[in-house]
Every structure is written in structure tokens, then in C-alpha cells.
């Protein structure tokens, strides 16, 4: 009599941890851990050193567009080809490993430029950014396969491995030596964790596919369209991440170290609001890739993203003192009255992120160019600013106009025939 209720509870628990809701929870935990790292870094390092770390993390987000392009490509291809998951998985992973090596080499060659442009203390942190790029890119292909197959538990483990080791390892590194180099050493070491977890959850399936006979030259033929689609996706995502991170690069070059550090502190809140609804994008993307469900999936996702953003804005306005504690404490009180503006910026960017993924889901390319126009506008307006307030309002104005235009273009295209979407 007692075994049956226990078994039922176990089945319910098993179903829960394999659901998209559990994935959403794990992604939120990862985001909390990731921004916990930034809060801890801001406190331990102070505005002077933290400004460099924030700039390198923003650069790493931009470099990560290859990872995200690979993830979006893998997810869309797996979703659109039922029954062909294993061959697609093998092709995607082959492309992923090659892309990871390429990105790592490029970043290694660019490390002297990164050192100079970001005004780092030495070239050592810039070299560590190149190290981070390799496992980060590998994770993209792995996560895309799991996302397309809706293997939410395995994907949840990958995301947990992305966030939790980073905050633990990096905090230990900064505690031992409070410098930007130590912070990036911790980030680089922790970045291998999600790639290892991704390899582990895919190892048996990959081995089974590798054992299958292959026609000579077929692998190259299958990889070519994956590479092309990944490049187009990465181009759009690069535009988004350039737009969402260009302001810290502007701040490092037009503001003093202290003031740019204050701006970087405000961006902790911006990035928290931006990535708070990240689980919405990940869960909704397979549905946005399917023609029958893409419109309803986008509308529901926009409503959820907007609702979370409004809550964050109200919270940062009404509880600005608590928000200052969140971004680093008393060292950042100079920007307390502006934190609600940084929260609005985060909400606008989260809407833009969702719209960009909607573009990728239907393989549209025109909208990507709008992102690059906005990057140019942000650079032009931002370069004329001399204060934190002026820079954040300039960037917010550009992003808000782009969001309105891209939203109109997206729904206009969704109303067209399938051949024109």
C-alpha cells in the first residue's frame, strides 16, 4: 500500500525535473550565479579594476555569438528534421569543434589589440579571453542539439555548469589576488565545466553515430549548409551583442576609470534584467522555428519578457537603495538615482534579444542589418557624452527606436505568406 504512493511521487518528481519548468529554474539559478560573480567582483575589485573585468566580460559575450549562432542553428535543424537527430548531431558537433579552434586562434592573435583598446593592466587577461572562447563555442553546439531535441534535463545540467562553477572558482581566485587577471583566470577555468557536461550527456549518442558507415565526402557536404546558416545567425547575434555591449567600450574610452567603473556597475543591473527572461528565449525558440506556432510563441514570449521587465523597473525605482547593494554597495551610490534607467535599458534589450531569435527562427536576414545601423548610431551618440547619465540615456534612446522598428518589421513579416517570411 505504501509503495504505490511513493512510486507515484517519484514519477511526478522525475517528470518535473525533465520538464521545461525545471530548465527555466536552472537557467535562473545560473543567471543569479553569473551576476553574483559580477556583484562579488565589483565589491572585491572596486570601480578601477572592475571596469576592466566588465569590459572583458562584455567582449566575451560578443565573442560568444559564434556559440549562440551554433546553438540556434543546431536547435532549428533538429526541430525541423524529425527522425534525423543523430546525423544532424554529428554534423553540428564536427562544425562546432572546428569553429571553436578558429575562434580561439583569432582571439589569441587579437589579444594585443584587446589589451590596448580595453586599457588592461597587462596582456595576460586578454590571453585568457582567448582561452575562454574555445569551450564557450563548444558548449553552443552541444546546447543546440539538446534544445532542439527538448532534452530539458540535460540542457539544465549544462546551464548549471555554466553559472555555478564560475562564481565559486572566480571568487576564490579574486580572494587570493584581487586583480582583473585573477578574475579572468577563474572565468577561464570555470568555462570548461559546461563543455565537459555537454560531452558527458551526449557521449553515447555521438559514439553510436560515429560508428555508422559514411560515404566519402558526405561529411563535408552536410557541414557546408550548417556553416553557412551558423554564419548568418552569428552575424545577427553579433549585431545584437555589439549593440548591448558597445556602451561599456565607449565608457572605457570617453569617461575616466572611476566614472566608467560606475557605469559598469549600473550595467550589472541592466544585464540582470536582460538575462532574467533568458529561459523564455531558450524554451520558445523551437516553437518559433515551427511555422504553425511561431506567431503565438512570439506573442506569449513578448508578454512574459515585458512583464518581468516592468517588475524589475519598478523594483529598482522603489527599492533603489537595495538595488545599489545588488550592484556593489556604497561605492556605487553616485548612480543610485539612475538605476531605474539602467533597468529600462535591460528590458528593452531583452525584447530585442527575443526579436532577434525570432528572426533566426524563420531564417530572415534583412532585420540583422538594422542592428548594425543601431550600433553605428550608439557609437556616434555615445562618443559625445561625458557623464554616466548622458551615456545611458543616449544608448537607451537608440535601443528603444530599434526595438519599435524591429517589432513592426517582425509582425509585418509574420503576416506575410510562408515564402516571404
Over residues 311-367, the pLDDT tens digits come to 988 988 888 777 787 776 777 777 778 888 889 999 999 999 888 888 777 666 667
Phi, psi at 160, each rounded to 5°: -65, -40
Of residues 236, 195, 239, 286, the one with CA closest to residue 69: 236
Q: What is the pTM of this model?
A: 0.71
In a domain, 294, yes or no: yes
CA–CA gap between residue 288 and residue 359 (Å, rounded): 9
DSSP 163: H
pLDDT of the residue at 259 = 79
- In the chain, % helix, strand, coil (3-state, to 5) comes to 85, 0, 15
Which residues, in sequence order, are CB contacts of 288 under 8 Å at separation 6+? Answer: 294, 297, 298, 301, 357, 358, 361, 362
Phi, psi at 306, each rounded to 5°: -65, -40
pLDDT of the residue at 1 = 46
Which of residues 330 and 282 earns the better pLDDT score? 282
CA–CA gap between residue 233 and residue 367 (Å, rounded): 11
In a domain, 114, yes or no: yes
- Mean pLDDT value across the chain: 80
In a domain, 7, yes or no: no
CA–CA gap between residue 206 and residue 208 (Å, rounded): 5
Which residues, in sequence order, are CB contacts of 202 under 8 Å at separation 6+? Answer: 89, 93, 142, 145, 146, 154
Report residue 47 as a C-alpha cell. Answer: 570601480
In a domain, 104, yes or no: yes
Residue pLDDT, tens place only, 254-266: 877 777 888 888 8
pLDDT of the residue at 420 = 41
In a domain, 323, yes or no: yes
Report residue 137 as a C-alpha cell. Answer: 563555442
Confidence of residue 290 (pLDDT cuts 50, 70, 90): low
Of residues 169, 163, 196, the one with CA closest to residue 184: 169
pLDDT of the residue at 419 = 43
pLDDT of the residue at 78 = 78
- E strands within 107-243? none
In a domain, 379, yes or no: yes
Q: Please give the average per-residue pLDDT across 220-236, as a whole number.
A: 72
pLDDT of the residue at 193 = 93
pLDDT of the residue at 217 = 46
Of residues 178, 168, 207, the one with CA closest to residue 47: 178
CA–CA gap between residue 154 and residue 223 (Å, rounded): 25
CA–CA gap between residue 194 and residue 190 (Å, rounded): 8
Half-sphere exposure of 121 (CA within 13 A, CB side): 15
Enclosing domain of residue 86: 13-420
Angle between helices 339-361 and 278-289 (to 10 degrees): 20
Confidence of residue 218 (pLDDT cuts 50, 70, 90): very low
CA–CA gap between residue 145 and residue 70 (Å, rounded): 10
Residue pLDDT, tens place only, 85-129: 677 788 888 888 988 999 999 999 999 998 888 878 788 888 999
Q: How far is CA 157 from the centre of its chain?
A: 16
Residue pLDDT, tens place only, 168-185: 999 999 898 888 888 889
CA–CA gap between residue 125 and residue 27 (Å, rounded): 27
Residue pLDDT, tens place only, 190-207: 999 999 999 998 876 554
In a domain, 139, yes or no: yes
**% pLDDT > 90, the chain:** 16
What is the number of domains present in the chain?
1
206 and 89 Cβ atoms separated by less than 8 Å = yes
Q: For the CA atoms of the chain, what is the radius of gyration?
A: 21
In a domain, 283, yes or no: yes
Amino acid at each position: 500500500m505504501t509503495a504505490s504512493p511513493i512510486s507515484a511521487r517519484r514519477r511526478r518528481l522525475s517528470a518535473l525535473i525533465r520538464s521545461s519548468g525545471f530548465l527555466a529554474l536552472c537557467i535562473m539559478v545560473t543567471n543569479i550565479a553569473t551576476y553574483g560573480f559580477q556583484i562579488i567582483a565589483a565589491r572585491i575589485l572596486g570601480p578601477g579594476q572592475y571596469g576592466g573585468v566588465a569590459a572583458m566580460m562584455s567582449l566575451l559575450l560578443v565573442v560568444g555569438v559564434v556559440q549562440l549562432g551554433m546553438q540556434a542553428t543546431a536547435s532549428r535543424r533538429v526541430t525541423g528534421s524529425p527522425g534525423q537527430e543523430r546525423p544532424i548531431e554529428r554534423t553540428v558537433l564536427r562544425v562546432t569543434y572546428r569553429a571553436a579552434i578558429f575562434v580561439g586562434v583569432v582571439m589569441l592573435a587579437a589579444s594585443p589589440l584587446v589589451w590596448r583598446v580595453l586599457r588592461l593592466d597587462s596582456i595576460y587577461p586578454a590571453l585568457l579571453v582567448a582561452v575562454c572562447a574555445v569551450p564557450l563555442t563548444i558548449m553552443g553546439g552541444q546546447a543546440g542539439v539538446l534544445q532542439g531535441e527538448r532534452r530539458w534535463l540535460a540542457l539544465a545540467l549544462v546551464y548549471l555548469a555554466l553559472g555555478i562553477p564560475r562564481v565559486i572558482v572566480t571568487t576564490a581566485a579574486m580572494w587570493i589576488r584581487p586583480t582583473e587577471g585573477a578574475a579572468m583566470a577563474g572565468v577561464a577555468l570555470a568555462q570548461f565545466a559546461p563543455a565537459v557536461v555537454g560531452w558527458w550527456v551526449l557521449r553515447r549518442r555521438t559514439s553510436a553515430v560515429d560508428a555508422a558507415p559514411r560515404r566519402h565526402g558526405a561529411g563535408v557536404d552536410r557541414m557546408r549548409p550548417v556553416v553557412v546558416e551558423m554564419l548568418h545567425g552569428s552575424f545577427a547575434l553579433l549585431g545584437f551583442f555589439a549593440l548591448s555591449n558597445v556602451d561599456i567600450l565607449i565608457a572605457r574610452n570617453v569617461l575616466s576609470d572611476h566614472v566608467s567603473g560606475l557605469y559598469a556597475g549600473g550595467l550589472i543591473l541592466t544585464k540582470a534584467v536582460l538575462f532574467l527572461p533568458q529561459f523564455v528565449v531558450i524554451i520558445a525558440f523551437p516553437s518559433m522555428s515551427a511555422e504553425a506556432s511561431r506567431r503565438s510563441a512570439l506573442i506569449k514570449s513578448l508578454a512574459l519578457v515585458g512583464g518581468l521587465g516592468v517588475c524589475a523597473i519598478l523594483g529598482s525605482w522603489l527599492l533603489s537603495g537595495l538595488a545599489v547593494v545588488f550592484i556593489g554597495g556604497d561605492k556605487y551610490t553616485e548612480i543610485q538615482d539612475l538605476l531605474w534607467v539602467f533597468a529600462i535599458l535591460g528590458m528593452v534589450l531583452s525584447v530585442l534579444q527575443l526579436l532577434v531569435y525570432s528572426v533566426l527562427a524563420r531564417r530572415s536576414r534583412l532585420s540583422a542589418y538594422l542592428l548594425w545601423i543601431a550600433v553605428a548610431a550608439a557609437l556616434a551618440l555615445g562618443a559625445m557624452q561625458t557623464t554616466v547619465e548622458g551615456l545611458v540615456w543616449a544608448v537607451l534612446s537608440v535601443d528603444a527606436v530599434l526595438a519599435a522598428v524591429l517589432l513592426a518589421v517582425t509582425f509585418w513579416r509574420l503576416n506575410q505568406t510562408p515564402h516571404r517570411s
